[in-house]
């Protein structure tokens, strides 16, 4: 019953945020948001836990330019974005300095398992499969958006609307699983197959969409909404009926998850958490409280 309630809660399709009324500019967000050390969070760090770099919280995060989640600042050497901002709040709360390590999406699972990073933050959604190897402390509730050029007539109200379309999607992502699941159902009904276009580089994906080599892109709501608001060349035309918990990810059983949860909840209470989401246009993805290892996303 609990799973059904949570699934039902996450299957609400909501309209795109009203970001298009504002002109978002990442250059306005380069000054870090900081927070005081949180004694309650520090107390929850396991006594035998050894940080990868003593005195630092080492965080693997995206090396791609993927605003608002992660991107390079105007100096081309500083990582900014909502994930780096949340990472800084975590490090500050735990009484540590922050060490951001730019990495590829494909690298974070092995990096966490091998002990190269304390945590990973790549807009990682909680799934039941991932929970077998990793622990999670949630900090956003993410939806998945279909984005098209402004002059496109495509609308995605259900899975039938993607039949026969060329859709950009990231390999190994939840969006890919949703897209392929819908495609399987469509094919079983005799509908034309979808044509996935695998482009993990954000600039290449945007160029493919704007040049007409793809009909739509399918990715995180936050990234699509940022492009709509900051560039004005695209629009959101639909969502999947699934939302997912986005979480700070750490190695299974190391005990750091409860300290991360306490740090996030402290930042929620003190207001810095909302400041971060507001300046990156992610207000509608805010959570009221962080959860450790909640039910994973269901794709059916």
**The CATH number of the domain where 234 resides is what?**
3.40.190.10
Strand order in the sheet with 216-220: 195-198, 166-169, 216-220, 144-149, 234-239
* Residues 274 and 149 sit within 8 Å (Cβ to Cβ): no
- Are 270 and 133 members of one domain? yes
User: What is the reported pLDDT for 11?
Assistant: 34
Quote the CA–CA distance of 179 and 126 in Å, as a whole number: 18
- What does the block give as tokens for 300? 């059916």
Upstream peptide bond of 191 is cis (omega within 30 degrees of 0): no
Quote the CA–CA distance of 72 and 76 in Å, as a whole number: 5
Domain end residue (candidates: 204, 239, 274): 239
Quote the CA–CA distance of 164 and 192 in Å, as a whole number: 5
User: What is the reported pLDDT for 5?
Assistant: 33
H-helix or E-strand containing 236?
strand 234-239
User: What is the reported pLDDT for 63?
Assistant: 79
- Are 60 and 183 members of one domain? no
CA 188 to chain centre: 31
Question: What's the total number of domains in the chain?
Answer: 2
Report mean pLDDT in 10-residue bins for the chain, 300 residues: 36 36 75 98 97 98 87 93 97 98 94 97 94 97 94 96 97 90 96 94 88 96 87 92 92 98 98 96 93 86
Q: Is 255 inside any structural domain? A: yes
User: What is the reported pLDDT for 201?
Assistant: 77
- Are 149 and 90 members of one domain? no
- Are 133 and 150 members of one domain? no
- Are 30 and 111 members of one domain? yes
H-helix or E-strand containing 101?
strand 97-103
- What does the block give as tokens for 114? 């091998």
- Are 235 and 258 members of one domain? no
Per-residue CA distances from 233 to 141, 159, 279 (Å): 26, 25, 21
User: What is the reported pLDDT for 297?
Assistant: 84
- Are 65 and 179 members of one domain? no
- Are 218 and 272 members of one domain? no
Please give the model's pTM, rounded to 2 decimal places: 0.79
- Are 235 and 266 members of one domain? no
Q: Is 172 inside any structural domain? A: yes
User: What is the reported pLDDT for 13?
Assistant: 32
Q: Is 56 inside any structural domain? A: yes
- Are 228 and 264 members of one domain? no
Provide the H-helix boundaries in the chain: 2-10, 39-43, 82-93, 108-113, 174-188, 202-210, 221-231, 256-270, 272-279
User: What is the reported pLDDT for 10?
Assistant: 37
Range of the domain at 208: 144-239
Per-residue CA distances from 241 to 113, 182, 187, 200, 244 (Å): 32, 11, 20, 23, 10
Dihedral of alpha carbons 198, 184, 234, 12, sign: negative
- Are 261 and 117 members of one domain? yes
- Are 48 and 117 members of one domain? yes
Q: Is 114 inside any structural domain? A: yes
Q: Is 292 inside any structural domain? A: no
Question: DSSP letters along 175-189, please?
Answer: HHHHHHHHHHHHHHT
Q: What angle do CA 99, 66, 105 make, to 5 degrees?
A: 65
């Amino acid at each position: 019953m609990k799973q059904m309630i949570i699934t039902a809660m996450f299957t609400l399709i909501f309209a795109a945020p009203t970001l298009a009324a504002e002109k978002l500019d990442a250059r306005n967000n380069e000054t870090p948001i900081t927070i005081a050390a949180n004694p309650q969070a520090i107390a929850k760090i396991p006594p035998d836990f050894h940080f990868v770099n003593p005195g630092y919280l080492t965080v693997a995060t995206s090396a791609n330019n993927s605003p608002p989640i992660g991107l390079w600042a105007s100096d081309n050497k500083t990582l900014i974005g909502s994930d780096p901002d949340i990472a800084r709040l975590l490090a500050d709360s735990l009484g540590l300095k922050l060490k951001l390590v730019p990495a590829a999406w494909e690298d974070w699972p092995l990096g966490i398992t091998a002990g190269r990073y304390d945590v990973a933050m790549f807009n990682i959604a909680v799934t039941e499969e991932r929970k077998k190897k990793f622990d999670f402390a949630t900090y956003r509730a993410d939806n998945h958006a279909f984005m098209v050029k402004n002059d496109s007539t495509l609308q995605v109200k259900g899975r039938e609307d993607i039949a026969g379309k060329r859709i950009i999607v990231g390999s190994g992502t939840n969006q890919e699983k949703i897209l392929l699941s819908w495609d399987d159902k469509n094919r079983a009904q005799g509908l034309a197959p979808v044509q996935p276009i695998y482009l993990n580089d954000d600039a290449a994906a945007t160029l493919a969409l704007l040049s007409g080599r793809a009909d739509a892109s399918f990715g995180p709501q936050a990234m699509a909404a940022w492009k709509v608001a900051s560039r004005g060349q695209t629009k959101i035309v639909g969502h999947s009926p699934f939302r997912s918990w986005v979480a700070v990810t750490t190695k299974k059983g190391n005990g750091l998850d409860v300290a991360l949860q306490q740090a996030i909840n402290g930042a929620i209470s003190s207001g810095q958490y909302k400041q971060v989401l507001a300046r990156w246009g992610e207000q509608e993805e805010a959570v009221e409280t962080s959860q450790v290892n909640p039910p994973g996303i269901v794709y059916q």
